Structure 1
Protein backbone atom coordinates (compact mmCIF):
# COMPACT_ATOMS: atom_id res chain seq x y z
CA UNK A 1 0.00 0.00 0.00
CA UNK A 2 1.29 3.49 -0.83
CA UNK A 3 2.66 5.43 2.11
CA UNK A 4 0.42 8.43 1.53
CA UNK A 5 -2.70 6.27 1.81
CA UNK A 6 -2.19 5.74 5.57
CA UNK A 7 -4.13 8.88 6.71
CA UNK A 8 -7.06 7.85 4.50
CA UNK A 9 -7.09 4.36 5.99
CA UNK A 10 -6.98 5.78 9.53
CA UNK A 11 -9.77 8.22 8.78
CA UNK A 12 -11.95 5.54 7.19
CA UNK A 13 -11.35 3.15 10.07
CA UNK A 14 -12.30 5.84 12.62
CA UNK A 15 -15.43 6.74 10.71
CA UNK A 16 -16.57 3.12 10.59
CA UNK A 17 -15.73 2.53 14.23
CA UNK A 18 -17.60 5.59 15.42
CA UNK A 19 -20.56 4.79 13.21
CA UNK A 20 -20.99 1.20 14.40
CA UNK A 21 -19.37 0.98 17.85
CA UNK A 22 -21.45 -1.02 20.34
CA UNK A 23 -24.42 -1.13 17.98
CA UNK A 24 -24.90 2.63 18.13
CA UNK A 25 -25.02 5.45 15.66
CA UNK A 26 -22.83 8.21 17.04
CA UNK A 27 -24.29 11.66 16.62
CA UNK A 28 -27.68 10.47 15.38
CA UNK A 29 -30.00 13.47 15.29
CA UNK A 30 -27.25 16.04 15.89
CA UNK A 31 -27.15 18.63 13.10
CA UNK A 32 -24.07 20.78 13.42
CA UNK A 33 -24.37 22.19 9.92
CA UNK A 34 -21.71 20.01 8.31
CA UNK A 35 -22.54 16.32 8.05
CA UNK A 36 -19.54 14.18 8.98
CA UNK A 37 -17.39 17.07 10.22
CA UNK A 38 -17.59 16.16 13.94
CA UNK A 39 -16.32 12.64 13.32
CA UNK A 40 -13.42 13.81 11.18
CA UNK A 41 -12.49 16.59 13.60
CA UNK A 42 -12.74 14.11 16.46
CA UNK A 43 -10.15 11.96 14.66
CA UNK A 44 -7.87 14.95 14.05
CA UNK A 45 -8.06 15.96 17.72
CA UNK A 46 -7.31 12.40 18.84
CA UNK A 47 -4.26 12.22 16.57
CA UNK A 48 -2.96 15.65 17.57
CA UNK A 49 -3.56 17.30 14.20
CA UNK A 50 -5.99 19.86 15.66
CA UNK A 51 -5.54 21.80 18.89
CA UNK A 52 -8.51 20.85 21.14
CA UNK A 53 -8.79 24.38 22.54
CA UNK A 54 -9.00 25.76 19.02
CA UNK A 55 -11.58 23.14 18.03
CA UNK A 56 -13.80 23.92 21.02
CA UNK A 57 -13.38 27.66 20.48
CA UNK A 58 -14.56 27.29 16.89
CA UNK A 59 -17.57 25.31 18.05
CA UNK A 60 -18.41 27.95 20.68
CA UNK A 61 -18.21 30.72 18.07
CA UNK A 62 -20.35 28.69 15.68
CA UNK A 63 -23.12 27.85 18.16
CA UNK A 64 -23.31 30.95 20.37
CA UNK A 65 -23.08 34.72 19.77
CA UNK A 66 -19.76 35.59 21.39
CA UNK A 67 -20.15 39.39 21.49
CA UNK A 68 -22.38 41.80 23.38
CA UNK A 69 -22.42 45.60 23.19
CA UNK A 70 -22.86 48.37 25.77
CA UNK A 71 -24.40 51.83 25.99
CA UNK A 72 -22.05 54.80 25.68
CA UNK A 73 -19.74 55.26 28.69
CA UNK A 74 -21.38 52.36 30.54
CA UNK A 75 -20.68 48.85 31.80
CA UNK A 76 -24.38 48.14 32.38
CA UNK A 77 -25.81 45.04 30.73
CA UNK A 78 -28.81 45.67 28.49
CA UNK A 79 -31.69 43.15 28.25
CA UNK A 80 -30.36 42.12 24.83
CA UNK A 81 -26.89 41.58 26.27
CA UNK A 82 -28.28 39.49 29.13
CA UNK A 83 -30.16 37.28 26.67
CA UNK A 84 -26.93 36.63 24.75
CA UNK A 85 -25.00 35.96 27.96
CA UNK A 86 -27.64 33.44 29.00
CA UNK A 87 -26.91 31.53 25.79
CA UNK A 88 -23.20 31.72 26.47
CA UNK A 89 -23.73 30.52 30.04
CA UNK A 90 -25.74 27.52 28.83
CA UNK A 91 -22.85 26.51 26.59
CA UNK A 92 -20.23 27.07 29.31
CA UNK A 93 -22.27 25.01 31.76
CA UNK A 94 -21.95 21.96 29.50
CA UNK A 95 -18.15 21.93 29.80
CA UNK A 96 -16.93 21.99 33.43
CA UNK A 97 -13.41 21.13 32.23
CA UNK A 98 -13.08 24.26 30.10
CA UNK A 99 -12.00 27.80 30.96
CA UNK A 100 -13.28 30.97 29.29
CA UNK A 101 -11.94 34.49 29.00
CA UNK A 102 -13.87 37.72 28.50
CA UNK A 103 -12.21 40.57 26.60
CA UNK A 104 -13.43 44.11 27.21
CA UNK A 105 -13.39 46.87 24.56
CA UNK A 106 -14.36 50.54 24.26
CA UNK A 107 -14.90 52.98 21.43
CA UNK A 108 -12.42 55.76 20.64
CA UNK A 109 -14.16 58.55 22.55
CA UNK A 110 -12.17 59.50 25.65
CA UNK A 111 -8.62 58.92 26.86
CA UNK A 112 -6.69 55.67 26.50
CA UNK A 113 -6.49 55.19 30.26
CA UNK A 114 -10.19 55.78 30.83
CA UNK A 115 -11.20 53.45 28.03
CA UNK A 116 -8.86 50.73 29.26
CA UNK A 117 -10.56 50.89 32.65
CA UNK A 118 -14.01 50.96 31.03
CA UNK A 119 -13.23 47.89 28.94
CA UNK A 120 -12.07 46.07 32.06
CA UNK A 121 -15.26 46.97 33.93
CA UNK A 122 -17.31 45.64 31.04
CA UNK A 123 -15.46 42.33 31.10
CA UNK A 124 -15.90 42.12 34.87
CA UNK A 125 -19.63 42.80 34.49
CA UNK A 126 -19.92 39.78 32.20
CA UNK A 127 -17.99 37.52 34.57
CA UNK A 128 -20.16 38.74 37.44
CA UNK A 129 -23.29 37.91 35.46
CA UNK A 130 -22.02 34.40 34.78
CA UNK A 131 -21.12 33.90 38.45
CA UNK A 132 -24.61 34.98 39.49
CA UNK A 133 -25.92 32.15 37.33
CA UNK A 134 -23.87 29.53 39.07
CA UNK A 135 -20.74 29.37 36.91
CA UNK A 136 -17.51 29.10 38.85
CA UNK A 137 -15.32 32.21 38.75
CA UNK A 138 -12.29 29.91 38.74
CA UNK A 139 -13.13 29.08 35.13
CA UNK A 140 -13.74 32.67 34.06
CA UNK A 141 -11.21 35.43 33.44
CA UNK A 142 -11.74 39.15 32.98
CA UNK A 143 -8.05 40.00 33.08
CA UNK A 144 -7.49 41.41 29.62
CA UNK A 145 -8.89 44.67 28.32
CA UNK A 146 -8.02 46.02 24.90
CA UNK A 147 -9.62 49.34 25.71
CA UNK A 148 -9.97 51.32 22.49
CA UNK A 149 -7.11 49.63 20.63
CA UNK A 150 -9.11 47.11 18.56
CA UNK A 151 -12.18 48.80 17.12
CA UNK A 152 -14.54 46.84 14.89
CA UNK A 153 -15.31 50.07 13.04
CA UNK A 154 -12.52 52.62 12.71
CA UNK A 155 -14.16 55.89 13.72
CA UNK A 156 -13.22 58.55 16.30
CA UNK A 157 -16.85 59.05 17.27
CA UNK A 158 -19.19 56.98 19.41
CA UNK A 159 -19.74 53.53 17.94
CA UNK A 160 -21.81 50.80 19.61
CA UNK A 161 -20.05 47.98 17.75
CA UNK A 162 -16.77 49.02 19.41
CA UNK A 163 -18.27 49.12 22.92
CA UNK A 164 -18.30 45.40 23.49
CA UNK A 165 -17.08 42.29 25.24
CA UNK A 166 -16.05 39.09 23.49
CA UNK A 167 -16.15 35.71 25.24
CA UNK A 168 -13.66 33.07 24.10
CA UNK A 169 -12.45 29.61 25.08
CA UNK A 170 -9.07 30.00 26.80
CA UNK A 171 -8.04 26.50 27.86
CA UNK A 172 -8.77 23.58 30.14
CA UNK A 173 -9.06 23.40 33.92
CA UNK A 174 -5.79 22.12 35.38
CA UNK A 175 -5.98 18.74 37.12
CA UNK A 176 -9.57 18.08 36.10
CA UNK A 177 -9.99 14.26 35.92
CA UNK A 178 -11.25 14.27 32.34
CA UNK A 179 -8.41 16.49 31.20
CA UNK A 180 -5.87 14.33 33.00
CA UNK A 181 -7.23 11.35 31.07
CA UNK A 182 -6.54 13.23 27.85
CA UNK A 183 -10.12 12.80 26.61
CA UNK A 184 -10.18 16.10 24.76
CA UNK A 185 -12.27 14.83 21.88
CA UNK A 186 -14.88 13.50 24.33
CA UNK A 187 -15.07 16.97 25.89
CA UNK A 188 -15.36 18.77 22.56
CA UNK A 189 -18.03 16.49 21.18
CA UNK A 190 -19.92 15.64 24.36
CA UNK A 191 -23.31 16.55 22.88
CA UNK A 192 -22.39 14.72 19.70
CA UNK A 193 -21.47 11.53 21.56
CA UNK A 194 -24.42 11.74 23.95
CA UNK A 195 -26.65 11.89 20.87
CA UNK A 196 -25.87 8.25 20.13
CA UNK A 197 -28.92 6.04 19.77
CA UNK A 198 -29.17 2.26 19.71
CA UNK A 199 -29.70 0.64 16.32
CA UNK A 200 -32.88 -1.43 16.47
CA UNK A 201 -32.48 -5.12 15.65
CA UNK A 202 -35.10 -6.41 13.25
CA UNK A 203 -36.19 -10.00 13.71
CA UNK A 204 -38.88 -12.00 12.00
CA UNK A 205 -40.72 -15.12 13.04
CA UNK A 206 -39.88 -17.03 9.87
CA UNK A 207 -36.59 -17.49 8.09
CA UNK A 208 -36.19 -15.05 5.23
CA UNK A 209 -34.29 -15.10 1.99
CA UNK A 210 -31.39 -13.28 3.60
CA UNK A 211 -31.12 -15.73 6.50
CA UNK A 212 -28.19 -18.10 5.96
CA UNK A 213 -30.05 -20.69 8.01
CA UNK A 214 -33.25 -20.51 6.00
CA UNK A 215 -34.59 -23.56 4.24
CA UNK A 216 -35.08 -23.41 0.51
CA UNK A 217 -38.69 -22.56 -0.38
CA UNK A 218 -40.71 -25.38 -1.98
CA UNK A 219 -40.58 -25.50 -5.75
CA UNK A 220 -43.67 -24.22 -7.41
CA UNK A 221 -44.93 -22.24 -10.29
Structure 2
Protein backbone atom coordinates (compact mmCIF):
# COMPACT_ATOMS: atom_id res chain seq x y z
CA UNK A 1 0.00 0.00 0.00
CA UNK A 2 2.85 2.39 0.79
CA UNK A 3 4.37 1.71 -2.64
CA UNK A 4 1.04 2.45 -4.33
CA UNK A 5 0.64 5.66 -2.29
CA UNK A 6 4.13 6.81 -3.23
CA UNK A 7 3.42 6.09 -6.93
CA UNK A 8 0.15 8.02 -6.82
CA UNK A 9 1.86 10.92 -5.05
CA UNK A 10 4.62 11.03 -7.68
CA UNK A 11 2.02 10.97 -10.45
CA UNK A 12 0.16 13.86 -8.83
CA UNK A 13 3.37 15.88 -8.56
CA UNK A 14 4.15 15.28 -12.23
CA UNK A 15 0.58 16.20 -13.21
CA UNK A 16 0.73 19.43 -11.20
CA UNK A 17 4.11 20.24 -12.73
CA UNK A 18 2.70 19.77 -16.24
CA UNK A 19 -0.41 21.80 -15.45
CA UNK A 20 1.36 24.81 -13.95
CA UNK A 21 2.62 26.28 -17.25
CA UNK A 22 -0.86 25.91 -18.75
CA UNK A 23 -2.51 27.55 -15.73
CA UNK A 24 0.06 30.32 -15.78
CA UNK A 25 -0.64 30.99 -19.44
CA UNK A 26 -4.37 31.02 -18.81
CA UNK A 27 -3.94 33.42 -15.90
CA UNK A 28 -1.88 35.72 -18.08
CA UNK A 29 -4.80 35.97 -20.49
CA UNK A 30 -7.36 36.58 -17.80
CA UNK A 31 -8.99 39.86 -16.78
CA UNK A 32 -6.78 42.44 -15.10
CA UNK A 33 -3.54 41.03 -16.49
CA UNK A 34 -3.42 42.74 -19.85
CA UNK A 35 -4.99 39.81 -21.71
CA UNK A 36 -8.56 39.19 -22.72
CA UNK A 37 -10.13 36.07 -24.21
CA UNK A 38 -12.58 38.30 -26.09
CA UNK A 39 -9.92 40.29 -27.92
CA UNK A 40 -9.82 39.80 -31.68
CA UNK A 41 -6.80 38.20 -33.30
CA UNK A 42 -4.21 40.82 -34.10
CA UNK A 43 -5.28 43.16 -31.31
CA UNK A 44 -2.03 42.49 -29.46
CA UNK A 45 -0.17 44.45 -32.11
CA UNK A 46 -2.29 47.57 -31.76
CA UNK A 47 0.74 49.81 -31.27
CA UNK A 48 2.95 48.33 -33.97
CA UNK A 49 2.31 51.26 -36.30
CA UNK A 50 0.42 49.23 -38.90
CA UNK A 51 -3.18 50.39 -38.32
CA UNK A 52 -6.22 49.45 -36.25
CA UNK A 53 -6.79 46.03 -34.63
CA UNK A 54 -9.52 45.18 -37.18
CA UNK A 55 -7.16 45.89 -40.07
CA UNK A 56 -4.36 44.10 -38.23
CA UNK A 57 -6.55 41.02 -37.91
CA UNK A 58 -6.95 40.65 -41.68
CA UNK A 59 -3.35 41.57 -42.44
CA UNK A 60 -1.97 39.23 -39.79
CA UNK A 61 -3.94 36.22 -41.03
CA UNK A 62 -2.92 36.92 -44.64
CA UNK A 63 0.72 37.05 -43.51
CA UNK A 64 1.22 40.64 -44.64
CA UNK A 65 1.50 42.25 -41.22
CA UNK A 66 3.77 39.58 -39.79
CA UNK A 67 6.24 39.82 -42.66
CA UNK A 68 6.11 43.61 -42.70
CA UNK A 69 7.26 43.44 -39.08
CA UNK A 70 9.94 40.90 -39.97
CA UNK A 71 11.24 43.17 -42.71
CA UNK A 72 11.06 46.20 -40.43
CA UNK A 73 13.23 44.40 -37.88
CA UNK A 74 15.67 43.27 -40.57
CA UNK A 75 15.94 46.78 -41.96
CA UNK A 76 16.65 48.22 -38.51
CA UNK A 77 19.25 45.52 -37.79
CA UNK A 78 21.06 45.53 -41.12
CA UNK A 79 20.91 49.17 -42.22
CA UNK A 80 21.57 52.50 -40.45
CA UNK A 81 18.09 54.04 -40.40
CA UNK A 82 18.92 57.56 -39.15
CA UNK A 83 20.41 60.58 -40.91
CA UNK A 84 21.33 63.71 -38.91
CA UNK A 85 21.55 67.33 -40.05
CA UNK A 86 23.35 70.55 -39.23
CA UNK A 87 21.42 73.21 -37.33
CA UNK A 88 18.62 74.82 -39.34
CA UNK A 89 19.57 72.78 -42.41
CA UNK A 90 18.07 70.12 -44.67
CA UNK A 91 21.30 69.57 -46.60
CA UNK A 92 22.73 66.06 -46.76
CA UNK A 93 26.41 65.83 -45.88
CA UNK A 94 28.82 63.05 -46.91
CA UNK A 95 27.99 60.93 -43.87
CA UNK A 96 24.27 61.18 -44.59
CA UNK A 97 24.77 60.22 -48.22
CA UNK A 98 26.75 57.15 -47.14
CA UNK A 99 23.88 56.07 -44.86
CA UNK A 100 21.38 56.56 -47.66
CA UNK A 101 23.43 54.38 -50.01
CA UNK A 102 22.99 51.53 -47.51
CA UNK A 103 19.27 52.22 -47.26
CA UNK A 104 18.84 52.34 -51.04
CA UNK A 105 20.67 49.03 -51.48
CA UNK A 106 18.25 47.35 -49.07
CA UNK A 107 15.24 48.96 -50.76
CA UNK A 108 16.31 47.84 -54.23
CA UNK A 109 16.57 44.29 -52.90
CA UNK A 110 12.88 44.37 -51.92
CA UNK A 111 10.92 46.17 -54.69
CA UNK A 112 7.60 45.09 -53.15
CA UNK A 113 8.16 47.00 -49.91
CA UNK A 114 7.09 50.55 -49.01
CA UNK A 115 9.08 52.87 -46.75
CA UNK A 116 8.38 56.11 -44.90
CA UNK A 117 10.88 58.80 -43.97
CA UNK A 118 10.09 60.76 -40.80
CA UNK A 119 11.67 64.20 -40.41
CA UNK A 120 12.55 65.51 -36.95
CA UNK A 121 13.94 68.74 -35.54
CA UNK A 122 15.42 69.84 -32.26
CA UNK A 123 13.43 72.02 -29.86
CA UNK A 124 14.86 75.34 -31.02
CA UNK A 125 12.42 77.53 -32.97
CA UNK A 126 8.65 77.68 -33.40
CA UNK A 127 6.48 74.63 -33.96
CA UNK A 128 5.36 75.87 -37.38
CA UNK A 129 8.91 76.49 -38.59
CA UNK A 130 10.10 73.15 -37.25
CA UNK A 131 7.28 71.36 -39.03
CA UNK A 132 8.35 72.84 -42.34
CA UNK A 133 12.01 72.11 -41.61
CA UNK A 134 11.25 68.50 -40.70
CA UNK A 135 9.30 68.12 -43.93
CA UNK A 136 12.20 69.52 -45.96
CA UNK A 137 14.57 67.05 -44.34
CA UNK A 138 12.28 64.11 -45.08
CA UNK A 139 11.88 65.24 -48.69
CA UNK A 140 15.64 65.67 -49.09
CA UNK A 141 16.16 62.05 -48.03
CA UNK A 142 13.39 60.77 -50.32
CA UNK A 143 14.80 62.77 -53.26
CA UNK A 144 18.26 61.30 -52.69
CA UNK A 145 16.91 57.73 -52.40
CA UNK A 146 15.08 58.20 -55.71
CA UNK A 147 18.35 59.41 -57.26
CA UNK A 148 19.89 56.15 -56.02
CA UNK A 149 17.35 54.07 -57.93
CA UNK A 150 14.42 53.62 -55.51
CA UNK A 151 10.95 54.14 -57.03
CA UNK A 152 9.34 57.35 -55.79
CA UNK A 153 5.96 55.61 -55.42
CA UNK A 154 7.42 53.39 -52.68
CA UNK A 155 8.52 56.31 -50.50
CA UNK A 156 6.55 58.66 -48.26
CA UNK A 157 8.09 61.81 -46.75
CA UNK A 158 6.48 62.46 -43.39
CA UNK A 159 7.24 64.86 -40.55
CA UNK A 160 7.36 64.28 -36.82
CA UNK A 161 8.55 67.31 -34.86
CA UNK A 162 11.52 67.10 -32.55
CA UNK A 163 9.26 68.44 -29.80
CA UNK A 164 7.17 65.28 -29.97
CA UNK A 165 9.90 62.66 -30.35
CA UNK A 166 13.29 64.06 -29.27
CA UNK A 167 16.11 61.64 -28.58
CA UNK A 168 17.61 64.12 -26.11
CA UNK A 169 15.17 66.26 -24.12
CA UNK A 170 16.88 69.65 -24.24
CA UNK A 171 15.81 73.15 -25.28
CA UNK A 172 19.23 73.83 -26.80
CA UNK A 173 20.65 72.77 -30.16
CA UNK A 174 21.08 68.98 -30.35
CA UNK A 175 22.21 67.23 -33.53
CA UNK A 176 20.77 63.85 -32.50
CA UNK A 177 17.29 65.41 -32.55
CA UNK A 178 17.85 66.93 -36.01
CA UNK A 179 17.32 63.76 -37.98
CA UNK A 180 15.29 61.64 -40.34
CA UNK A 181 14.34 58.05 -39.60
CA UNK A 182 13.48 55.59 -42.38
CA UNK A 183 11.13 52.70 -41.62
CA UNK A 184 9.33 49.85 -43.39
CA UNK A 185 5.63 50.67 -43.53
CA UNK A 186 4.08 47.94 -45.67
CA UNK A 187 3.90 46.47 -49.16
CA UNK A 188 3.17 47.78 -52.66
CA UNK A 189 -0.40 46.57 -53.03
CA UNK A 190 -0.36 45.91 -56.77
CA UNK A 191 2.99 44.15 -56.95
CA UNK A 192 2.62 40.57 -58.33
CA UNK A 193 4.43 38.98 -55.39
CA UNK A 194 2.13 40.78 -52.96
CA UNK A 195 -0.98 39.84 -54.92
CA UNK A 196 0.14 36.21 -54.76
CA UNK A 197 0.65 36.50 -50.99
CA UNK A 198 4.30 35.43 -51.14
CA UNK A 199 5.24 37.44 -48.08
CA UNK A 200 7.63 34.83 -46.69
CA UNK A 201 9.54 34.78 -49.96
CA UNK A 202 9.73 38.57 -49.90
CA UNK A 203 10.90 38.76 -46.29
CA UNK A 204 13.52 36.06 -46.60
CA UNK A 205 14.57 36.59 -50.23
CA UNK A 206 18.27 37.02 -49.52
CA UNK A 207 18.34 33.83 -47.44
CA UNK A 208 16.29 31.81 -49.92
CA UNK A 209 18.36 33.08 -52.84
CA UNK A 210 21.60 32.33 -51.04
CA UNK A 211 20.52 28.75 -50.31
CA UNK A 212 19.41 28.16 -53.90
CA UNK A 213 22.75 29.37 -55.24
CA UNK A 214 24.72 26.87 -53.18
- TM (norm. structure 1) is 0.66
Shift of residue 166, structure 1, vs aligned partner: 0.1
Structure having the higher helix fraction is 2
The 8 Å contact of residues 67 and 164 in structure 1, kept in 2 or not, is answered as: yes
Query: Structure 1 CA distance, aligned partners of 2:65 and 2:119?
Result: 28
Given that 1:99 and 1:140 are in contact with CA atoms closer than 8 Å, whether structure 2 keeps it comes out as yes
For the pair 1:99 / 2:117, whether they are aligned, the reply is: no
* Cα distance in 1, alignment partners of residues 193 and 65 from structure 2: 18
**Match of residue 196 from structure 2:** 181
Corresponding residue number in structure 2 for 1:78: 93
Count of residue correspondences: 157
* Residues 161/186 of structure 1: CA separation in 2 closer, same or farther (3 Å cut): same
State whether residues 122 and 175 of structure 2, in contact with CA within 8 Å, keep that contact through their aligned partners in structure 1. yes
TM alignment of 1:81-160, pairs within 5 A:
81-160=96-175
**Hey, what's the Cα distance between the residues in 2 that align with 1:131 and 1:140?**
9
What's the offset of the Cα at 1:147?
4.4
Q: 1:48 Cα deviation (Å)? A: 4.7
> What TM-score do you get using the length of structure 2 for normalisation?
0.69
Q: 1: CA distance between counterparts of 2:64 and 2:107? A: 25
Task: Give the root-mean-square deviation of aligned CA atoms.
Answer: 2.4
Distance of 1:191 and 1:133 partners within structure 2? 20
Unaligned runs of 5+ in 1: 1-44, 200-221
Q: 1:46–1:184: 8 Å Cα contact kept in structure 2?
A: no
What is the CA-CA distance between 1:52 and the residue it aligns to?
A: 1.2
Q: Secondary structure at the match of 1:192?
A: helix
Instruction: Spell out structure 1 runs of 4+ moving beyond 2 A.
Output: 45-50, 143-148
